[in-house]
């Protein structure tokens, strides 16, 4: 038990935000996020919604979450969090050992930011 407590105290906490910034709700938008161990289920956030989930990174630094996106006939799949993002400080520190990563879904693709401010987002992916 002491080892688990010590290990969890050493691992960083993360919150991944997926913000639906699509132009309208006429076409159903869905997202399903998962890791090797956890399937977070199918979600259908409406325009303006912030779907988010939190977790602690594992001690060996291999935590990875990926999401499948669908918007009408458009699809996409990519990592929303992996250990390289943490090691390169891509996510923004909010306090102590806690970080946030922001993904904004728009009609033309997917944008990433360490903080949720309009000028900080960078386009990372197009829809397929």
pLDDT tens track, the chain, 128 positions: 333 333 444 578 999 999 999 999 999 999 999 999 999 999 999 999 999 999 998 877 789 999 999 999 999 999 999 988 877 788 999 988 899 999 999 999 999 999 999 899 999 999 99
At residue 71, the pLDDT reads 98
At residue 5, the pLDDT reads 34
Q: What architecture (CATH level 2) is domain 2-125?
A: Sandwich (2.60)
At residue 111, the pLDDT reads 98
How far apart CA 33 and CA 54 sit, in angstroms, is 12
How far apart CA 23 and CA 4 sit, in angstroms, is 45
Main-chain dihedrals φ then ψ at residue 19, nearest 5 degrees: -100, 125
């Amino acid at each position: 038990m002491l080892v688990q407590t010590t290990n969890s105290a050493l691992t960083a906490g993360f919150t991944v935000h997926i913000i639906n910034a699509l132009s309208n709700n006429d076409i159903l938008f869905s997202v399903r996020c998962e890791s090797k161990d956890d399937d977070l289920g199918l979600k259908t956030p409406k325009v303006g919604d912030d779907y988010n989930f939190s977790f602690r990174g594992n001690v060996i630094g291999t935590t990875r979450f990926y999401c499948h996106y669908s918007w009408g006939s458009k699809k996409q799949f990519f990592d929303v969090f992996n250990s390289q993002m943490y090691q390169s400080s891509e996510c923004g520190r909010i306090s102590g050992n806690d970080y946030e990563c922001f993904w904004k879904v728009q009609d033309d693709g997917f944008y990433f930011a360490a903080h949720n401010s309009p000028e900080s987002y960078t386009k990372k992916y197009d829809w397929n």
